[in-house]
Amino acid sequence: MDAGLIPAELLQCAVVESRQVGAYRLISFVAPQIANLAHPGQFLMIRLAGSELDPLLPRPMGIHNVESDLVTMLIDPVGKGTARLAAAGIGDRVSVLGPLGMGFRLEGDAPAVLVGGGIGISPLKLLARALAAGGREVRCLLGFRTRKEAVATELFSGVRIDVITEDGSIGRLGLVSDPLPGCLAREPGKPAPEIFACGPSPMLAAIARIARECGNLAQVSVESHMACGIGSCQGCVIRGAGGYLRVCSDGPVFDVEDISWQ
């Protein structure tokens, strides 16, 4: 499906769930228009509704999950915009535009290896569900700084998970990319595993290198500051193999070889 051509909705929605998940905040709101259209890897432009001018613009955030009419977002309160959203209580209203962007392509039957770093785990929940529903074998490598962020692995119940932390406070010590090569061998009678990744740029660069060395397909979801979110302002571009790419409308999910990793 051409996710970029799905009509987006601009809505104001009341928060119906707001809870702490370790270092992150999880909020949910009722938005059947978005829940029905959302494709794994797509994002919303989201801000706390109101006339406050600082923060000024909505923030692009990957859709964490949808359940019937409910849309769920996972927030890492690292800056002004995300902190304001994370402070949203039940009944507060959020302004949302979406679903936006080109999500993960789900075609094929290769075993799927999902790799998430930090808040980059967020869109992998909806992705894992969609892949499993399509009969794909799914395993997740979820990497965090410490056990405080790793609490979010509880959101991935029912999926095969390996936890990696940079301080070794829970799971395997190291970087989430460390165990990846060991997950990529082709099993007899099956296609080579396909990588789906979301996380900080250095992590994605490491995954690009590993995918190239091991000869596996990989799709990565990239982050960038955005203003319009719909392909117009050219503000969110990254360097691609053949020129600049708009993260909001050409992505946020790209084939790993379409991006320039220099």
Partner 1 sequence: MLAADKALEEDLFVSFPFAAYIPKTVTLKPRAGNPPPRLQETAAGLLNSIGLANHGIEAFIRDDLPRLEPMPVPVIASIAGERTEDYGRCAAMLDSRAEVAALELNVSCPNVELDGRALGLDPEKTRQATVLARQATSKFLIVKLTPNVTDIVEIAAAAVDGGADCVSLINTVHGMALDRFSLKPVLGHVTGGLSGPAIKPVALRAVFLVSRELDVPVIGMGGVTTAQDALEFMAAGATAVAVGTASFRDPLVAAAMASELGRLIKEHGIGSAGELIGVAH
Q: Which residue has the tokens 């979010």?
A: 152
Q: Measure Cα distances from 173 to 18, 147, 154, 188 in Å.
A: 31, 11, 19, 30
57 binding partner 1? (CB under 8 A): yes
Rounded to whole angstroms, the Cα distance separating 30 from 113 reads 31
Q: Which residues contact 241 (CB under 8 A, 6 or more apart)?
A: 257, 258, 259, 260
Is 217 or 227 the residue whose CB approaches partner 1 more closely?
227
Q: Which of 51, 68, 157, 262 contacts partner 1 by CB under 8 A? A: 51
225 binding partner 1? (CB under 8 A): yes
Q: Which of 22, 224, 257, 261 contacts partner 1 by CB under 8 A? A: 224
CB of 189 vs partner 1, minimal distance in Å: 42
Rounded to whole angstroms, the Cα distance separating 84 from 107 reads 37
78 binding partner 1? (CB under 8 A): no
CB of 242 vs partner 1, minimal distance in Å: 11
Is 14 or 227 the residue whose CB approaches partner 1 more closely?
227
Pair of tokens at residue 70: 């409910």
User: What string of DSSP letters covers 199-225?
Assistant: S-HHHHHHHHHHHHHHT--EEEE----
Is 19 or 225 the residue whose CB approaches partner 1 more closely?
225
Alpha helices for the chain (secondary structure H): 32-37, 80-86, 124-133, 147-150, 201-214
* Residues in region 94-113 near partner 1 by CB under 8 A: 95, 97, 100
Q: Which of 105, 134, 115, 126 is nearest to 200 (CA)?
A: 115
Is 86 or 210 the residue whose CB approaches partner 1 more closely?
86
CB of 183 vs partner 1, minimal distance in Å: 31
10 binding partner 1? (CB under 8 A): yes
Is 31 or 113 the residue whose CB approaches partner 1 more closely?
31
Q: Which of 190, 209, 212, 239 contacts partner 1 by CB under 8 A? A: 239
* Binding map of partner 1 across residues 31-50, x = CB under 8 A, - = no contact: ----------------x---
Q: Which of 166, 102, 167, 171 is nearest to 140 (CA)?
A: 171
Alpha helices for 19-114 (secondary structure H): 32-37, 80-86
Residues at the interface with partner 1 (CB under 8 A): 4-8, 10, 47, 51, 53-58, 81, 95, 97, 100, 224-239, 243-244, 249
